[in-house]
Structure 1
Amino acid sequence: MSLLGNKARQLSRWLHLWLGLTSGLIVFIVSITGCLYVFQTEIKDALEPWRFVEAQDRAFVPPSQLVDTALVYMPGKTPTGLTYEDETGAAAVGFYYTENDKLDFGVVFMNPYSGEFIRKQEAVLHGSFDFFQFIMKGHRHLWLPEAIGKRVVGIGALIYVVLLITGLIMWWPASWKKKYRERSLRINWKAGFKRLIFDLHSVSGFYILIFVLIIACTGLIWSFKWFENSVYYLASGGEIKAAHTHPHSDVSKAALAVSDSIPAIDRAWYLTLAQNPNPERIYMTPHLAEEDESIEILVFNKKGKFYHHDEYFYDRYTLEPLATEKFVDANAADKLDLMNYDIHTGAILGLPGKILAFIVSLISASLPVTGFLVWFNKRKAQRKLRYSLAGQQGKR
């Protein structure tokens, strides 16, 4: 039995054809770049052994010492981020800065146990070529100007969701008898080229549908605020997503700032470690540009995952805890929101999830190609038939 009536199937076929032809290149680029980016962490770990250190039975040096060392190698720059990895990872201080009217990024890697310099990476965004930065630019905005490209990618992802739905309607067997069921669920590898291409498009598209739909929807959350708010509204049972705000330090208490030799950023780090003695990663902003900025420290609790983290805020003058936002205390909608990146990349399921995301993205990239070939072969056959009929009429 058909999933929908004939008119709906005809409309689906028309939409699938023309939306597919107009968005095929976008879907191909976004899918293949996503596929290539899935294992960027594992590849970098293998190619950049200097990002690791030997575990030692002693504490890490405090943030201020790492910043002081990093500034020796990035003079005149302002540190914008500091990361501690686990016991075998190098610590890193990052610097965003403008040079020759271009935004650039540099990183200084150090041994977290001794504070010794290991390596500096500079001009990652401009100047030197970074393969994964290049891939990510293609994935996010097709190597176009970011404001334009992100919008194009978002519209392409929205069209892709429609293509997945219309594709399911077209795939649905006219009958669930064995003959029709097998044609819809199996690729006939012994068939001719045209039939094989059709099966690769239709059958493989069906098997990845639910997974690629999840990937597309998690991508749409970043592309459109209305989509993000709609998902949150549904997940929360009708609540509006609150804006994420940071608490502020009390400037009136600046005179009360602790004046001993231990910097406030170090004290906040020690306070956070007391509550989280074995974190997988810690991230903080070492430089506070505004007088009322608070010290923010993020603690990541699961290796290779971004969603499971806690945020701690401290008054920069008194070190009074201003707020603590823990993942375990978040409601279901907020947890889903935090999980969005890990769901999108497959990291939510660890290595098996990444392998699945890689395979799904690779097949997804093939769909515009096989879809175009199906259309081209059909168009070629129709043209050949028209010429044949015209020739027969001419002989009469």
Structure 2
Amino acid sequence: MSDVRRPIKAALLQVHSVVGLVLALLWAVVGLTGATMAFEDEIEASLNSQMMRVEASAPRRLTPDELVARLQAAGDFGKVSAVTMSSDPSAAAHIRFARSDGGTRPSSVYVDPYNGHLLGTPRGEDFFATVRKLHRWLLLPGDGNGVGRKITGSAAICLIVMLISGLVLRWPHRARSVKMWLKPNLGLRGRGLHGSLHAVIGTWVLPVYLVMTLTGLWYSFEWYKAGANWLLTRPQATAAAQPKPPRGTTIAESKGEARADAKAEATPLVFDHVWSAFLQQENNDYGRALLTLPAGAGTAVRVRSWARDSSLESVRDEFRIDAVTGRVISSDRYADKRFGERVLAGVLDIHRGAILGWPGKLVFMLAAAMMPLFVVTGILLYLSRRRHRRLAPPSVASLVPGE
């Protein structure tokens, strides 16, 4: 190694080691929780398969308001916040509830769409909700508005530094050797084996970790989200990409929103006007629809619609419909999005590898589950270097013998 590169690598190794030791446990927690959620939908579907399927017992299915009314007549479940309806005649309806005054959210329920009969509370929902909070904001107070969100975002930035510095530190003399890059030397023992596993497996998962961190930052920092919007859509495209009012909307109708809001203060919001308008917009051609009441003041209900053959969360149409008048305030159809807008809409699917189907989710899950391996081998390598420095003059050695 040249005299110029030696001090640079020594400093880089010091940064790599210190940052790794400080954030090792946090990365392990985020990695393991991410791996746990990789197949959340499939696990919950398996655990609740009987609850989620029904047999047609009437000529027609109940409307969302009829379902809510029958459910509330059966017991005090809390204020309904969202209803999921499906075009599949054998699929149960899913109802979610708003947070209580104490900040807790009651468990959701499945109901029979033909008679409103309560089918039960889905198993695994509370577990995955806790895992998700741990993954996103470490169960710290404030949830998404607290400090936990900033901590995980900062840890993601530090992980990018670790990935780049690790790649530089392990750059082999024979850089074009595929074997040197991708094949761990399992014949080694002790520090050599730890270094080989740390470096080679780190090279395997480096592209996946980069995708995870770059998309994960979207959920941590508003400045990052704004920058991504500017980069992928540009300001003029961003303005054009805002949900557009449907044809026929007039200025008078826009002014009528204030009157509708005032009326809604005295009248609880309902779903049926929204449901009728949505069916008209989609011409009854939908696979699944999620109707969500506004969290605060206002009468605009958000409706997300997925096609029957859709397997991705991001491939959906979205509408805002007035719950009092049934007027469509805005519509945002996936088919009308540009490439950059589709990328932004699919950040979550990219983050968990779902954009590549179940093989992608499996690869991302395994990569996330390997995070503790780097924690353990990294700590062992650090302790080994400490012992070595007490016995010999300090020197910069390659992470993998022979490189």
Cα pair distance change 1:123/1:69, threshold 3 Å: farther
1:305 is the counterpart of 2:307: no
Partner SS for 1:109: strand
Aligned residues: 370
1:50 is the counterpart of 2:46: no
C-alpha distance in 1 between matches for 2:123 and 2:374:
38
Match of 1:213 among 210, 215, 218: 210
How does the TM-score come out when normalised to structure 2? 0.81
C-alpha distance in 2 between matches for 1:324 and 1:156:
37
Cα pair distance change 1:86/1:173, threshold 3 Å: farther
C-alpha distance in 2 between matches for 1:182 and 1:254:
68
1:348 is the counterpart of 2:348: no
In the TM superposition, what is the alpha-carbon distance from 1:384 to its structure 2 partner? 4.3
C-alpha distance in 2 between matches for 1:203 and 1:345:
23
Q: Which runs of 5+ in 2 are unaligned?
A: 246-253, 264-268, 394-403
**Cα deviation digits, residues 361-383 of structure 1 (max 9, x gap):** 11233212211111112222333
In the TM superposition, what is the alpha-carbon distance from 1:11 to its structure 2 partner? 3.5
336-345 or 309-318, which deviates more: 309-318
1:176 is the counterpart of 2:175: yes
Report the counterpart of residue 294 of structure 1 in structure 2. Answer: 300
Report the counterpart of residue 97 of structure 1 in structure 2. Answer: 99
C-alpha distance in 1 between matches for 2:135 and 2:270:
39
In the TM superposition, what is the alpha-carbon distance from 1:36 to its structure 2 partner? 1.1
Cα pair distance change 1:329/1:246, threshold 3 Å: closer
In the TM superposition, what is the alpha-carbon distance from 1:188 to its structure 2 partner? 1.1
Q: Does structure 2 conserve the Cα–Cα contact (< 8 Å) formed by 1:249 and 1:316?
A: no
In the TM superposition, 1:29-48 aligns within 5 A as 29-48=29-48
In the TM superposition, what is the alpha-carbon distance from 1:241 to its structure 2 partner? 5.3
In the TM superposition, what is the alpha-carbon distance from 1:360 to its structure 2 partner? 1.1
In the TM superposition, 1:245-260 aligns within 5 A as 250-251=256-257
Report the counterpart of residue 107 of structure 1 in structure 2. Answer: 108
Report the counterpart of residue 144 of structure 1 in structure 2. Answer: 140
C-alpha distance in 1 between matches for 2:342 and 2:115:
37
C-alpha distance in 1 between matches for 2:256 and 2:156:
44
Match of 1:372 among 368, 379, 386: 379
Q: Does structure 2 conserve the Cα–Cα contact (< 8 Å) formed by 1:297 and 1:312?
A: yes
Partner SS for 2:208: helix
In the TM superposition, 1:68-87 aligns within 5 A as 68-75=69-76, 77-85=78-86, 87=88
In the TM superposition, what is the alpha-carbon distance from 1:122 to its structure 2 partner? 11
Cα pair distance change 1:372/1:123, threshold 3 Å: closer
Partner SS for 2:120: strand
Partner SS for 1:295: strand
Report the counterpart of residue 284 of structure 1 in structure 2. Answer: 291
Cα pair distance change 1:378/1:285, threshold 3 Å: same
Report the counterpart of residue 393 of structure 1 in structure 2. Answer: none
Q: Which amino acid aligns with 1:50?
A: Q
1:134 is the counterpart of 2:130: yes
In the TM superposition, what is the alpha-carbon distance from 1:74 to its structure 2 partner? 4.8
Q: Which amino acid aligns with 1:90?
A: A
1:360 is the counterpart of 2:360: no
**Cα deviation digits, residues 109-133 of structure 1 (max 9, x gap):** 1112333221146997xxxxx3222
Q: Which amino acid aligns with 2:131?
A: I
Report the counterpart of residue 339 of structure 1 in structure 2. Answer: 346
Partner SS for 1:282: strand
C-alpha distance in 2 between matches for 1:226 and 1:240:
18
Report the counterpart of residue 199 of structure 1 in structure 2. Answer: 196
Match of 2:278 among 272, 277, 282: 272
C-alpha distance in 1 between matches for 2:357 and 2:124:
31
Cα pair distance change 1:385/1:118, threshold 3 Å: same
Partner SS for 1:200: helix
In the TM superposition, what is the alpha-carbon distance from 1:8 to its structure 2 partner? 4.2
Q: Does structure 1 conserve the Cα–Cα contact (< 8 Å) formed by 2:109 and 2:120?
A: yes
C-alpha distance in 2 between matches for 1:209 and 1:249:
53
Cα pair distance change 1:287/1:221, threshold 3 Å: closer
C-alpha distance in 2 between matches for 1:120 and 1:312:
28
Cα pair distance change 1:210/1:342, threshold 3 Å: same
Q: Give the RMSD, CA atoms, in angstroms.
A: 3.3
Partner SS for 2:346: helix
Report the counterpart of residue 260 of structure 1 in structure 2. Answer: none
Q: Which amino acid aligns with 1:10?
A: A
Q: Does structure 2 conserve the Cα–Cα contact (< 8 Å) formed by 1:288 and 1:295?
A: no
Cα pair distance change 1:47/1:295, threshold 3 Å: closer
Report the counterpart of residue 25 of structure 2 in structure 1. Answer: 25
Q: Which amino acid aligns with 2:164?
A: I
Report the counterpart of residue 392 of structure 1 in structure 2. Answer: none
Cα pair distance change 1:240/1:16, threshold 3 Å: farther
In the TM superposition, what is the alpha-carbon distance from 1:139 to its structure 2 partner? 0.8
324-333 or 112-121, which deviates more: 112-121
C-alpha distance in 1 between matches for 2:337 and 2:170:
40
Q: Which amino acid aligns with 1:32?
A: L
Report the counterpart of residue 390 of structure 2 in structure 1. Answer: 383
Q: Does structure 1 conserve the Cα–Cα contact (< 8 Å) formed by 2:276 and 2:326?
A: no
